[in-house]
Amino acid sequence: MPEADPAAGRDVVQRVGCASCHVFPDISWPRGALGPNLGDFADQGLIGGRVPNRPDLLAAFVRDAPALIPGTTMPAMPISERESRDVAAYLYTLRDR
Amino acid sequence: MWPRISTPSGIVEGLAGWPPPVLDPAGPYAGSVAALSWALIALAAGIFLIVLAALWIALRGRERLRARLGGERAIWIGGVVFPVVVLTALLIWGLTLTRNLSEPAGGPELRMRVSGEMWWWRVSYLDGNGRAFMQDANELHIPVGRTIAIELVSPDVIHSFWVPQLSGKLDMVPGRRNLIRIQADRPGTYAGICAEYCGGPHALMGFLVVAHAPDDYARWLAARRAPRAAPPDRQSARGAALFVSAGCAACHRIAGTPANGQAGPDLTHVGSRRTLGAGILPNNRGTMIGWIGNSQAIKPGNRMPPYTVLPGEDLQALAAYLEAQR
Amino acid sequence: MNASRTSGAVPPAASVSETGFDPTLFDRFPTSGERPEGELGELEHVWRAPRGWGLLTVVNNNYVGIFYVGAAFLFFLLAGILALVMRVQLALPLNGVLPQETYNQFFTMHGTVMMFLFAVPAVEALGVLLLPQMLAARDLPFPRLSAYAFWAYLVGGLAFFASIFVGLAPNGGWFMYPPLTSTAYSPGINADFWLLGIGFIEISAIAGAIEIIVGVLKTRAPGMSLDKMPIFAWAMLVFAGMIIIAFPAVIFGTLALELERALNWPFFDPTRGGDPLLWQHLFWFFGHPEVYIIFLPAAGLVSMMVAALSRTPLVGYRLVVLALVATAFISFGVWAHHMFAVGMPRLSVGFFSAASMAVSVPAGIQVFAWIATLSVGRPRYQTPTLFLVGGLVTFVLGGLTGVMVAMVPFDWQVHDSYFIVAHLHYVLIGGMVFPMFAGFYYWTPMMSRRPLSERLGKWVFWLMFAGMQVTFLPMHLTGFMGMPRRVYTYLPGRDWEITNMISTVGAFMLAAGILIFLVDLIRNFRFAAEGNAGNVYGGGTLEWLPTGLYSTRSIPLVTSREPLWDRPGLSREVEEGRYFLPGSATGNRETIITSPLRAEPQYLQIMPGPSVWPLLSAIFTAGFFLLLTVQAYLVGVVSGLVAIWCMIRWLWETDRPVRPPTADIGAGIEVPTYVTGPSTHGWWAMVVLQIVIGMIFLMAAFSYLYLYGVHTSFWTAPPAPSWLALLLPLYGAGMGLAWLARVLLARRRSTLWSPATALLFGAASLLTGFVLDCLSWRWSGLDPEASGQGATVYGLLAIQGFVTGVAVLIALYVAARNSRGLVTRPRNNSFDLAVLFLIYTGAQGVLGAALVRLFPGAV
Amino acid sequence: MRAWLLLLGGMLVWTIHFFVLYGLGSLFGTTPTARIGTLLVTLACLAANLAILVTCMRIARTADRESVLGWPARLGAPVAVLSIVSVAWQAFPALFT
């Protein structure tokens, strides 16, 4: 993603506590068990099992998931649009090795 | 790994490592101890250097100096006379300070009660008669410039109440009632933590003290006491119903509703808290859902069971409802 | 000559004799003339060690001592590995190396193993290894007891440690505060494993302490008066005395906690009139002296090595002894400085603050005595010197932070924070671990054909020293930054991650140093009691005499503190048999028993040789506790009974008078070979044991009074005081009959059975008294589960019951010996000791029964 | 026995003083009773220490170096000195706060 910083995205993930629902490979605590493990997120075809895994959609999804997928457990998160792009960039660094 | 370590995570505001909180007091009770600490550090450093110098002389020094050190007289001076003089002075200082710290600073004190429980803090605001007029958890709001006398109790095991910037620590011992005084002289958020090992997730038992300027405090208190509105939207209303039907109310209380459980933290004002899980997570809808859904993955061993069976919409509704409890 | 008669007399100030022994007899040494052929051969034959599997039955201090040191060092390594894993977990915030529950077990085990299975046994082991050599005794006075203590410790310690591999290790922190450790909050058997592990170290520490007290006071080489004792012997004497007073507190504490866990007796439950702080008082009344129990022997080693390496006598010997003695006393007045934050009244905290200041003065005296000694001599920079100086620097820093935390307001801030973690590691590593490593380098040549490597040793030192500082210096800051101890993780954002990462790096440096030490040990350590590398560092004390398994060929006459320096020919003369006991006088293992103040020869002690019974006793004792812990009660009880049987078998062979009744211990000085009464080593040991039991009783009585003071409202009326009219005569009769038995034994007219019968009736009377005592409480309606009063009253009764049981067993044992004609007349040691024990039992019964009925009832 | 009393006398006095003060503090807190009691006990213990010190010094001066009481007395004197300091400190909390 142009002009997005994965490292900043990781900081956002830590700050807002995404890990309280998801497992991230490089965050050792918490390792939330409610949402999907995001260890190989970059290799996934769909977001939330429904939406194509595209950068623009992902950024929108992490900011306001219910708007994109009504009924999802994932709530809207208190982050800015710029931060959502960073987060998306970070998520695309997560690949199964 | 290194570059990431110093990244401020900002999970909880009010946590600062530098300057060290013990030496960066925000009120009189911690202040006099910080002064003592600096004096002790300087004294210890001075004596340590003297001993090192003596050792240097003993091993490498000139004959004449070594002869001075090498006798019983040196032992009497260095090992008896000097320590006795220094220690007598220290003892008197320590005793005087202990007395001053265990007495009221003057002026009317506010009273609170904090109960350390496995592994969170039950907070009660007390009126003039010692009765609780407001319940909360894991967060203490105080006005600056006032002394707060806090009763410390515990219903289960021993915990210890420690806000380094506001005062030293004091244990919460089952069957006893201890009294600690704190005072903040500048507004801010001060981190506290349990300092006595209490099993399981003892490491994750933090809390915050939020000091307001007097006017802000009055406003805050008035807002807290204002009548509570009904759930603002459909989602929250659904959450309110779920709170009772899903069993949350068996352990949690929300004032003005049928929910009156006493086992877990009071959730009357949970939406306004800065943290979840006793000072460990930021408070937003996402973390709230994560916590309700499976807090065991976040704080293993805590007393709240996982609710993975609840569908996403229910979790959303509960979180929305709780977010509105301000 | 009956030595027991003369030793009791009070000597006038100007007297130069303590026992009536004529000091001019000493002028006969060294003797001249040829020693008889074959004398040395017989000595070697008598003291030879069993071979092969028989080595398990060995009791000689050379072997047991080295096993003991090795086992303690093994636990040091194991606990150190735990520490390394914990450091990895803490290197980063929110790290996931150790899950929470495992981490909690790890830090509990690290503390427990380091304190109980490493530090105390290690110094005790050094005592077993070094003391007989330093005192020129042939062995410690109760070699089989040493063997038993060692095996119980090894078997029990290993079983205890194994609990961590199955996730059953204790997790309540090494001081195990209830209520966290009571069944409500620790329902698993993890906490029971802690109580088990501590049980073993209680047994072996007490056994070792008895051994060391009697050894130091009664088996010194002739002429070695108190002022000529090696300073290490002073340190060990003080160490053992402290164990005798301190361990009973933890013995009673663990007993109470186990009774609360197993039988629901509420010693520490505030809802039923118990108090969690009672545990803290009991634990720290033991726990603080414990720190000095570890430090003082190591300080003794330092004093020895500083003098030897500086090639000059210790400056201020008298002041160092003063420091040891003063520390021993004052350290019993500082226990509550671990409790400054529990909310005690400010008078109390000030009170303990004052004592904490006082206890730091003796430490200063020792530090300056060492510096003074270094100034007089010119120490060479060998590995032990480096460890000594490094330890000194480290210890001083720990001592200074110790004075800081003795200041109550300061302690309120840093208590239970990483500042304390730093402080205690500075004191223990600087005060105990570094001196011990210095000792390893210094004394290895005494036990090994090759000394350890000086070249590797420098690496070991610098890595350990630098690692220590890098690990623990930043922790002071971590504490100031607000990090509490015993946290398995921490949140990022407070800069804790920086200091923690530094500490972790340091821990690995420290570990690297220890690893190199192991390499050095493997390459160079070759056990050899004879033909060892010898006096590499030029020490002046008796352990550097040429030795065999029998210790020295002849036992020298001691006329100064560093005999080897002051009498250059001493080694040769000793080797030629020119002093005491140049051979075996009776054909048995034997050593000279001397008087406590001036070490005048009193009699010849016949010592037991190798035996399988101490080993079996230890295994079955361990089995008893282990099986109870895993709740296999029936097998456990059987194992306990077998253990008792093994002990009786072990004792059965002892206390046999030998022919001839007197023996020549050299230069025509004749002493008896069988002596009874208060001057005997057995009598001393029994008195020390009774002090231990008395202290346990005192701790129970303190608990009773303490809980009354805290929760008076729970107290109910005791059984009518008129019960005393029944109980006191019964207890009194038991004591009287025991005393009568001793009188009867001395009278020729009494028949063979009557003294034993009197003893048996005495024991029966004590037993009846105890049973009625119990029944009176049951009938009064007080239940042990009901309240703190119930728990402490029945706790006192449990102690009385245990003592009574032992008394009955002893009476039966002596009666059995009597029936086999093993009880000599007019006096017999086994019989005397049985009488002493019965009298003690009765006295304790009287005090206990009166206390709980008259107070608070009659007040 | 006399030798041990000389040697340990100072510390025995300290022990008695300590536990009597502990008892007084536990029973009477900071009341005037406790303060007066503390003062009296402290004075008595200081006097006892002085007596031990004087005895030790006298014996140390006159006795033969190799006599039974000589060295214990020489050690007992500084023990008593240390005890005087410690006893005085021990009384500070009750007397001055």
Mean of pLDDT values over B44-50: 96
Residue numbers in C near D94 (CB within 8 A): 347, 350-351
**Side chain identity, residue C754:** S
Side-chain-facing half-sphere of C278: CA atoms under 13 Å: 32
Quickly state the pLDDT bin for B16 (edges 50, 70, 90). Answer: low
The total of other beta-carbon atoms located within 10 Å of residue C722's CB is: 9
C193 forms beta bridges with: none
- Whether D39 has its CB under 8 Å from any CB of chain B: the answer is no
Which among B44, B15, B40, B280 has a CA at the least distance from the CA of B165?
Answer: B15
Q: Is the dihedral of CA C584, C589, C595, C597 positive or negative?
A: positive
Looking at residue B13, its pLDDT comes to: 53
Beta strands B170-172 and B159-162 are: antiparallel
Residue B99 has its nearest CB partner, among D85, D89, D97, at D97
The answer to whether B298 contacts A20, with C-beta atoms less than 8 Å apart, is yes
Rounded to the nearest 5°, which phi and psi values hold at C189? Answer: -90, 10
The answer to whether B79 contacts C417, with C-beta atoms less than 8 Å apart, is no
Looking at residue B146, its pLDDT comes to: 93
Sequence-distant (≥ 6) Cβ neighbours of residue C136 within 8 angstroms: C220, C221, C224, C542, C545, C551, C552, C555, C556, C558
Report the percent of chain B where pLDDT is more than 90. 80
H-run or E-run covering D30: none
The answer to whether A27 contacts C489, with C-beta atoms less than 8 Å apart, is no
Mean of pLDDT values over B227-253: 89
Pairwise CA distance, residues C682 & C210, whole Å: 10
pLDDT digits (tens, 9 = 90+) for B104-156: 777 789 999 999 999 999 999 999 898 999 999 999 999 999 999 999 999 99
Among C228, C281, C322, C348, pick the best mutation site for testing chain D contact (most D Cβ within 10 A): C322
Chains C and A touch (3+ CB pairs under 8 A): yes
Looking at residue B3, its pLDDT comes to: 30
**C594-621: burial string, b at 16+ Cβ within 10 Å, e else:** bbbbbbbbbbbbbbbbbbbbbbbbbbbb
Give the residue from C524, C554, C589 where a domain finishes: C524
Give the residue from C504, C524, C544 where a domain finishes: C524
The total of other beta-carbon atoms located within 10 Å of residue A46's CB is: 10
- Whether A78 has its CB under 8 Å from any CB of chain C: the answer is no
The answer to whether C347 contacts D94, with C-beta atoms less than 8 Å apart, is yes
Residue numbers in C near D62 (CB within 8 A): 13-14
Token pair listed for B44: 């210890």
Q: Is residue C69 part of a domain?
A: yes
Cα Rg of chain D (Å, integer): 15
Q: Is residue C597 part of a domain?
A: no
Quickly state the pLDDT bin for B15 (edges 50, 70, 90). Answer: low
In this complex, the chains that touch C, judged by 3 or more CB pairs closer than 8 A, are: A, B, D
In this complex, the chains that touch A, judged by 3 or more CB pairs closer than 8 A, are: B, C
pLDDT at B9 over 60: no
* C-beta of residue C637 within 8 angstroms of C-beta of residue C58: no
The answer to whether D90 contacts C346, with C-beta atoms less than 8 Å apart, is no
Mean model confidence pLDDT for chain B: 91
**Side chain identity, residue B118:** M
- Determine the structural domain holding residue C827 and report its residue range: 697-854
The answer to whether C496 contacts B17, with C-beta atoms less than 8 Å apart, is yes
The answer to whether B308 contacts A15, with C-beta atoms less than 8 Å apart, is no
Q: Strands of B188-194's sheet, edge to edge? A: B139-143, B206-212, B188-194, B159-162, B170-172
Residue B92 has its nearest CB partner, among D82, D85, D96, at D96
- Whether C858 has its CB under 8 Å from any CB of chain A: the answer is no
Burial of C366 per CB tally in 10 Å (0-12, 13-18, 19+)? buried
The total of other beta-carbon atoms located within 10 Å of residue C309's CB is: 24
- Whether C368 has its CB under 8 Å from any CB of chain B: the answer is yes
Rounded to the nearest 5°, which phi and psi values hold at B212? Answer: -110, 150
Pairwise CA distance, residues A70 & A63, whole Å: 14
* C-beta of residue B208 within 8 angstroms of C-beta of residue B189: yes
Q: Per-block average pLDDT, block size 10, for chain C (859 residues)?
A: 39 68 91 88 91 91 94 97 97 90 96 95 95 94 94 92 93 94 93 86 91 96 95 97 96 95 95 96 95 96 96 95 96 93 90 94 96 92 95 97 95 96 97 97 94 96 98 97 95 88 97 97 90 89 91 93 94 93 91 94 93 95 90 93 96 88 91 93 96 97 95 91 94 96 83 84 97 95 94 97 97 93 90 97 97 83
Among B82, B84, B100, pick the best mutation site for testing chain D contact (most D Cβ within 10 A): B84
Beta strands B148-153 and B110-117 are: parallel
Which among D44, D49, D25, D45 has a CA at the least distance from the CA of D35?
Answer: D25
Residue numbers in B near A38 (CB within 8 A): none
Q: To which residue do tokens 């949690």 refer? A: B252
* C-beta of residue C207 within 8 angstroms of C-beta of residue C621: no
Token pair listed for C198: 């501590």
Token pair listed for B81: 């006379």
Pairwise CA distance, residues C421 & C433, whole Å: 16
**Side chain identity, residue C39:** E
The answer to whether B55 contacts C93, with C-beta atoms less than 8 Å apart, is no
Closest-CA residue in chain D for C317?
D75
In the 3-class helix/strand/coil scheme, how is C677-745 assigned residue by residue?
A: CCCCHHHHHHHHHHHHHHHHHHHHHHHHHHHHHHCHHHCCCCCCCCHHHHHHHHHHHHHHHHHHHHHHH
Token pair listed for C20: 């009536």
- Whether D47 has its CB under 8 Å from any CB of chain B: the answer is no
Which among D87, D45, D80 has a CA at the least distance from the CA of D59?
Answer: D80
Angstrom distances, CA of residue B11 to CA of B8, B281, C544, C822? 8, 6, 64, 79
The residues spanned by each domain of chain A are: 6-91
The answer to whether A34 contacts B289, with C-beta atoms less than 8 Å apart, is yes
- Whether D95 has its CB under 8 Å from any CB of chain B: the answer is no
**Side chain identity, residue B295:** S
Domain count, chain C: 2
pLDDT at B248 over 90: yes
- Whether C640 has its CB under 8 Å from any CB of chain B: the answer is no
Sequence-distant (≥ 6) Cβ neighbours of residue C152 within 8 angstroms: C200, C203, C204, C207, C617, C618, C621, C622
> Distance (Å) from the C-alpha of residue C61 to the closest C-alpha of chain D?
29
The answer to whether D85 contacts B84, with C-beta atoms less than 8 Å apart, is yes
List, as one string, the DSSP characters of C467-504.
HHHHHHHHHHHHHHTTPBSS-S---SSSSHHHHHHHHH
Sequence-distant (≥ 6) Cβ neighbours of residue C187 within 8 angstroms: none
CATH code for position C79: 1.20.210.10
The answer to whether B15 contacts C493, with C-beta atoms less than 8 Å apart, is yes
Q: Is residue C724 part of a domain?
A: yes
Looking at residue B7, its pLDDT comes to: 32
The domain made up of A6-91 has a fold known as Immunoglobulin-like (2.60.40)
Quickly state the pLDDT bin for D97 (edges 50, 70, 90). Answer: confident
In the DSSP assignment, the letter for residue B70 is: S
Give the residue from C524, C552, C575 where a domain finishes: C524
Pairwise CA distance, residues B302 & B123, whole Å: 18
> Distance (Å) from the C-alpha of residue A71 to the closest C-alpha of chain C?
32
> Distance (Å) from the C-alpha of residue D11 to the closest C-alpha of chain C?
6
pLDDT digits (tens, 9 = 90+) for C646-667: 999 999 988 988 888 999 998 8
In the DSSP assignment, the letter for residue C313 is: P
Looking at residue D27, its pLDDT comes to: 85
